[in-house]
Chains A and B, each alone.
Chain A
Amino acid sequence: MTHKVDKSKCFYCGGCVSLCPFTALTLVETNVVCDESKCTKCGICVKGCPARAIRVE
């Protein structure tokens, strides 16, 4: 796993989904689902997450 969401911080706003240039993310109710085969680890979602909930490594 390279894309991790800290669920104690995430408030399911979908901001990361809208910013990901590779449409790697989907918000399904309270879960951010990452298609790891599309994620390039660019870090844009990390910067755009209001809750600072995402880590990409």
Chain B
Amino acid sequence: MAEHYDAIVIGCGPGGSFFAKTAAKKGMNVVVLEKKKDLGSPVRCGEGIATQWDASYGLPLNEKSIAMKIDAAMAIAPNGTTFKMGGEGAVVERKIFDKFLAIDAARAGAHILPKTLVTDLVRENGKIVGVKAKRFGEEIEFRAPLVVSAEGMENTIARKAGMKVQHTLYDTDVCYEYEMANVPCEPIIELFFGNRISPRGYVWIFPKAKDVANVGIGVGGETGADPKALLDAFIRERPERFKHAEIIEVKGGDISVGASSEQLVQDNFMVIGTAAHMVDPIHGGGMGLAITAGKIAAEVAAEAHERKDYSRDALVRYEKEWHAGEGATMLKRLKLRKTMEGLSDDDLNFIFENVDGKDAGKLMDGDFKPIVARLLIKRPSLLKVVKSLM
């Protein structure tokens, strides 16, 4: 026997919940299938999120989800040179944040089914008509004219649907993270760069209280570097900061740092969030992008639902809007990431000594030329590394 819905969402992370909430509010009968028993756990996240946009999204970033409010980010070069970038944000408690997003979706009328593992798609005459799932020892079929993959990194069902969303070592950062108590913190996100600290990645310290922080590392997947060994070394080398530190939780995971997937929809199928590689290639943030994608995709899905047309043509506006907006920004940042990969620690020190937070903001927005030109006058040898930004 099959259960019938207007849309099936696979995965109850921020992307899946926000899609479900938005679509349910527009009158769709949506079910979210989540394989885990606890939402948001195990945490695979630094838990940092920008918050300028939360009001316009009706995002329930309530006080319980927020561990600490942040007002700036600081980047630190190998030699300790720093610059600061302003910007409102928060470090959240993912276990609470994800649960509240799901509660919000449920309040809007969506059905949430934890402990439900989607194992395959159901097709009829080649057409996707639903999914197969395992739940409490039972095999259940869910049917809907629209299936949405919000599977996160483990995008197996999207791949089975024929979407080109396979992750690669080159475009993945491999991460290890401790939540630590007794680490003195300001309300600032800290990012430490350097090839010795982390090959093709960085170490982050994201404060959750004035003496509690997520201390984590991401390393480029193809470098073969051992993230735990490097994180332990980073902590050991900073006894003044970590002398009383206690590990209270171990977390980590792999995260995409490439471009978002080109194709995001096909007949009866959409893919949103990290499942479609929607993660910032510079800092690895994917919660905000998953929510943004969930919102756009649900609005398009609701229109398709009204017209009872779930073809690729009916859904493609989501794909187009994504690539014209966030997708395009991600491509600029990917260019920046690839350039940064070629920099020696000495180059990094030089650049940090010659840019400020405003310059960094421009670089993040893809406005490379004026800053790169200024740096090249002082250090022409950078040209071979940075020429792709000219």
Q: B268 at interface (Cβ–Cβ under 8 A)?
A: no
Q: B132 at interface (Cβ–Cβ under 8 A)?
A: no
Per-residue B-contact encoding for A1-30, CB less than 8 Å = 1, 0 else: 000000000011111011101010011110
Which of A13, A19, A26, A51 has the most CB atoms of chain B within a 10 A radius of its CB? Answer: A13
Residues from chain A with a CB closer than 8 A to the CB of B224 are 47
Q: Which of A13, A18, A26, A27 touches B167 (beta carbons < 8 Å)? A: A18
A-B interface pairs (CB < 8 A), number: 76
Residues from chain B with a CB closer than 8 A to the CB of A26 are 117, 156
Query: A36–B221 Cα gap in the complex (Å)?
Result: 24
- CB-based contact A50/B253 at 8 Å: yes
- CB-based contact A19/B167 at 8 Å: yes
Q: Which of A23, A28, A51 touches B252 (beta carbons < 8 Å)? A: A51
- CB-based contact B174/A15 at 8 Å: yes
Q: How many residues of B contact A (CB 8 A)?
A: 32
- CB-based contact A28/B251 at 8 Å: no
- CB-based contact A11/B252 at 8 Å: yes
Chain B's closest residue to A16 (CB) is B254
Q: Decide: A14 near B228, CB < 8 A? Known: A19-B172, A29-B37.
A: no
- Tell me which residues from 14 to 71 in chain B have a Cβ below 8 Å from any Cβ of chain A: 35-37, 42, 44
Q: Which of B42, B168, B222 touches A11 (beta carbons < 8 Å)? A: B42
Q: B389 at interface (Cβ–Cβ under 8 A)?
A: no
Which of B159, B160, B174 has the most CB atoms of chain A within a 10 A radius of its CB? Answer: B174
Q: Decide: A19 near B254, CB < 8 A? Known: A47-B169, A52-B226.
A: yes
Q: Which of B36, B152, B169, B226 touches A48 (beta carbons < 8 Å)? A: B169
Q: Decide: A50 near B174, CB < 8 A? Known: A11-B42, A14-B253, A18-B155.
A: yes
- CB-based contact B160/A50 at 8 Å: no
Chain B's closest residue to A12 (CB) is B42
Residues from chain B with a CB closer than 8 A to the CB of A23 are 156, 159-160
- Tell me which residues from 24 to 57 in chain A have a Cβ below 8 Å from any Cβ of chain B: 26-29, 44, 47-52
Q: B250 at interface (Cβ–Cβ under 8 A)?
A: yes
Residues from chain B with a CB closer than 8 A to the CB of A44 are 169
Residues from chain A with a CB closer than 8 A to the CB of B160 are 23
CB proximity of A45 to chain B, nearest CB, Å: 10
- CB-based contact B221/A48 at 8 Å: yes
- CB-based contact B253/A13 at 8 Å: yes
Chain A's closest residue to B151 (CB) is A18
Q: B322 at interface (Cβ–Cβ under 8 A)?
A: no
Residues from chain A with a CB closer than 8 A to the CB of B226 are 52
Query: A40–B39 Cα gap in the complex (Å)?
Result: 32
Query: A12–B41 Cα gap in the complex (Å)?
Result: 10
Which of A13, A18, A47, A52 has the most CB atoms of chain B within a 10 A radius of its CB? Answer: A18
Per-residue A-contact encoding for B130-155, CB less than 8 Å = 1, 0 else: 00000000000000000000001111
- CB-based contact B35/A18 at 8 Å: no
Query: A23–B36 Cα gap in the complex (Å)?
Result: 19
Q: Which of B36, B168, B250, B253 touches A15 (beta carbons < 8 Å)? A: B253
Residues from chain B with a CB closer than 8 A to the CB of A12 are 42
- CB-based contact A50/B154 at 8 Å: no
Q: B176 at interface (Cβ–Cβ under 8 A)?
A: yes
Residues from chain B with a CB closer than 8 A to the CB of A14 are 44, 152-154, 253-254
A-B contact pairs, 21 of them (CB 8 A): A13-B44, A13-B251, A13-B253, A13-B254, A14-B154, A15-B172, A15-B253, A17-B154, A17-B156, A19-B167, A19-B172, A19-B221, A29-B35, A29-B36, A47-B169, A47-B222, A49-B174, A50-B253, A51-B176, A51-B252, A52-B226
Interface residues of B (CB under 8 A from A): 35-37, 42, 44, 117, 152-156, 159-160, 166-169, 172, 174-176, 221-222, 224, 226-228, 250-254
With A15-B174, A29-B37, A48-B172 given, can you name 5 additional A-B contacts, CB distance below 8 Å? A11-B42, A13-B253, A15-B153, A19-B169, A52-B226
